[in-house]
Structure 1
């Protein structure tokens, strides 16, 4: 129950960050950034685009990270989708681009870190970042930044150079915050994995005895 509450908290903080970026007319990285860019080009809402874009990444997650992590991720993505859809009920407002990029980056970084610490992700490059950390001990913040940077660079023609630079600033802040919590993320996920293995062995022993 505690993990679910923490994931909900992380999603809520992240959704506020995404909404701030939307009202600053800049993008973030990963599938969220890709979805934001697409939402600027077509009339579909961000929440729907974000959910659809993440579907292919679930296949990789099942193959490499297991069903529990994948189900947690689907839950997190669904929650974020619902939370960001609240933006449709908010009055129209604009946030200064520099303020939005900094504040949005900070909130998304904190939100993602909380989600990561509780054995989940928000899809896309998040899944790959956690997989590489688990397998090779890489910094998930660095991996996120590399993929986010590619997404933002591909959006330069759509959003313009000023918004593009502010978007890079935003993802750099997000990645820095995730990197700051990288050891905590790795330790918590390692503890969870050990508990799951221990529980599985205990259950297996009970079945064998019976």
Structure 2
């Protein structure tokens, strides 16, 4: 399989969607990838701060520093991907909506 051309915006949206879906599965089973993910789950469970919004704020802070080394078009694609990823978490991962226990 070969791709003659892949639209960068489409790739950023699909990457954010796939990563967001995978992280949603992890979050629903009370796991994370470590670091900020664990803190986001903790803040949501104990203080009601939505994990997706917290993680979006952290990602945007990191990407604001990346402005110093990335080209503006690549930075915007990264922001787009991070936004899609974290909005999937913010919209779908709510307290009490799903718990991976029986």
TM range (shorter): 0.7 to 0.9
1:206 matched to which residue of 2? Answer: none
2:32 matched to which residue of 1? Answer: 121
Q: 1:44-55 alignment to 2 at 5 Å? A: none
Higher Cα radius of gyration: 1
Show structure 1 runs of 4+ deviating over 6 A. none
Q: CA RMSD in A?
A: 2.3
Distance 1:95 1:123 in 2: 31
How much does 1:156 deviate? 1.7
String of CA shifts for 1:88-130, please: whole Å, max 9, x gaps. Answer: xxx9x97432111111011111110001111210112111100
The count of corresponding residues between Structure 1 and Structure 2 is 100
The answer to which structure, 1 or 2, has the higher relative contact order (CA under 8 A, 6+ apart) is 2
Where 2:24 maps in the other structure, the secondary structure is helix
1:103 matched to which residue of 2? Answer: 14
1:112 matched to which residue of 2? Answer: 23
More helix by share: 1
Question: What are the ranges of 5 or more consecutive residues in structure 1 without an aligned counterpart?
Answer: 1-90, 196-210
1:188 matched to which residue of 2? Answer: 99
How much does 1:145 deviate? 0.0
